[in-house]
Amino acid sequence: MKDKEQGFLSSEKGQKMILMGFDGAMPYFVKRFSKEGKTPNTARLIKNGFFADAYSTPPCDTPTNWATIATGADTGVHGVTSFYIHIPGEPLDYGAQDEQRGRGQLSTYCNAEYLWDTADRAGKKCLIINYRGGWPTNMKNGIVINGDGKPVHYIGTSMRYVTPQFMRDEEQLCSVKFEKINNFEGNIKSYSSILRSEIRVESPYIEGGLTLKILIIDSEGKGYDRVFIGRLEDCCEEKQFLKIGGWTDWFEEEFKLLPGKKGKSTIYYIQVKPDSPNIKGFFRFMLKRLSPDGSEFQLFRTHIFTTLGWTYPAELGPELLKNLDLGKDFYPRVDKPLVDGALYWSVDEGREAGESLSKIDEDRMQANRLIKIIEYIQKTYGWDMCFFHFHLMDRINHHILGNLCPENPDYTESKSKESLQLYEIAYKLIDDFVGELMKRYLKKNTLFVYVSDHAAVPTWKYVRIAPALIKAGL
């Protein structure tokens, strides 16, 4: 132990623990990139702690093994038998129906006690973020964030409000036309005539909607440069006007759901069912484009989120949105082709704010969100144990691990090289994540646990046996 850094493997009383769950992280790559110096923070953990391979509990998938990690029980005890669990007495196809898909990732169907429930009874404060099986919770003193830092339910999709020349055949564009007004009742100074318009915040899920005003001003006599969005009675000072790239605060508005409508979930296995048609929606705007003559205008709006099913306790949701300035990375994502049907994972440095993200961009932002939330909860409420899950590596394994295997009929050296580079980028992202947490908590008597639920084997062909069984009457 003489060569260990101070702060690792402390046995002091009051020690905290943070379990960093990296779905699909493979021992081979963890060791390889650590030895090559590509992931120095992970290498520090290995050097100052210990490293061990482990067998996954069958079936070797996500819900089953995160349940095992969080309970210490095997599949036969906790009963989380993959994504589409079957409960005796139910029709065989019931677990695969839309309302039941993925219920193996809900704590409701786990028969073993979670470590955080045991700790909660012992008076420890636990923070659970994005952990498969962490929602809903039985804890009395703990905090749970359902999902990756974004609200898990929305009642309206994002929208871009643009001047007519930017209209395209897309559902998420809305045309805006402005008129000049020379007399404006308010304490607003503009060197040019104020431009005024209005926009609607509405969706197929809500009754009616909301009308907001837009004012554009020339604050310096150099052309139009600032925009106000909201109700005119709230338009009092120039500081409430956005510059290009600026964001509004969160709007918190009451909406009424249409009969039979419940909105949508951002996580497929979370079924949010509002218990009232009256529901609070949260959204914010970002000014994307404004020309000096006012002829070019683009305004981005986030989804209309609710905070239902997102946090425990429930009142924490609005608090996180407002106090952590969340929402600036809540953009839609697009997957772009890379190599023979794989997904585009590399960093898109040229992306403009408000544009679609590449997957690696989204995961980096997700990591930053989780760090902000972990730090905020620690400073505001405190935690003794923190459990979180991060899914990046599992998705990459599914899509490009086969590119590294020479037995793949479509294998090429260039494809293998490019895929390996993407693996390096992804493990570096995880390593940066680990490093940020170590900066904050390593010297605060905290035990770090880096764990994966399963690895992967390379594949390039899938055989679906269900059609054959159906055809045979089985």
Residue of 340, 364, 332, 179 lying closest to 266 (CA atoms):
332
Tokens of 128: 């659970």
pLDDT for 268 equals 74
3-class secondary-structure state, position 44 = helix
Residue ranges in the chain modelled with pLDDT below 50: 333-356
> Dihedrals φ, ψ of 451, to 5°?
-140, 150
pLDDT for 355 equals 45
DSSP 8-class letter at 337: B
pLDDT for 460 equals 87
Tokens of 327: 């929402």
pLDDT for 170 equals 66
Kindly state the greatest CA–CA separation across the chain.
78
- Within 189-274, strands assigned E span 194-201, 210-217, 226-230, 251-256, 264-265
Residue of 182, 181, 213, 183 lying closest to 197 (CA atoms):
213
Distance of CA 247 to the CA centre of its chain: 20
Q: pLDDT digit string (tens) for 12-69?
A: 677 899 999 999 999 999 999 999 999 999 999 999 999 999 999 999 999 999 999 9
* Average pLDDT of the chain to the nearest whole number: 89
pLDDT for 94 equals 87
Q: Is the peptide bond before 58 cis (omega within 30 degrees of 0)?
A: no
Cα dist from 358 to 102, 336, 362, whole Å: 25, 8, 6
| Predicted model pTM | 0.89
Sequence-distant contacts of 146-149: CB under 8 A, at least 24 apart: 146/267, 146/270, 146/309, 146/310, 146/311, 146/312, 147/266, 147/267, 147/270, 147/310, 148/366, 148/369, 148/370, 149/326, 149/366, 149/369, 149/370, 149/372, 149/373
Quick one: CA dihedral 111, 112, 114, 118, positive or negative? positive
CB-CB neighbours of 121 under 10 Å: 13
**Structural domains of the chain in order of their starting residue, each with its CATH number:** 16-151+311-471 (3.40.720.10), 153-306 (no CATH)
pLDDT for 171 equals 64
Q: Are the beta carbons of 130 and 147 closer than 8 angstroms?
A: yes
Cα dist from 89 to 47, 81, 95, 108, whole Å: 51, 16, 12, 17
Give CA–CA dist 36/30, Å, rounded: 10
Tokens of 353: 């704010």
pLDDT for 2 equals 57
Helix axes 413-441, 40-48, angle to 10 degrees: 60
Burial 396-407 (b: 16+ CB within 10 A, else e): bbebbbbbeeee
How buried is 329 (Cβ within 10 angstroms: 0-12 exposed, 13-18 middle, 19+ buried)? middle
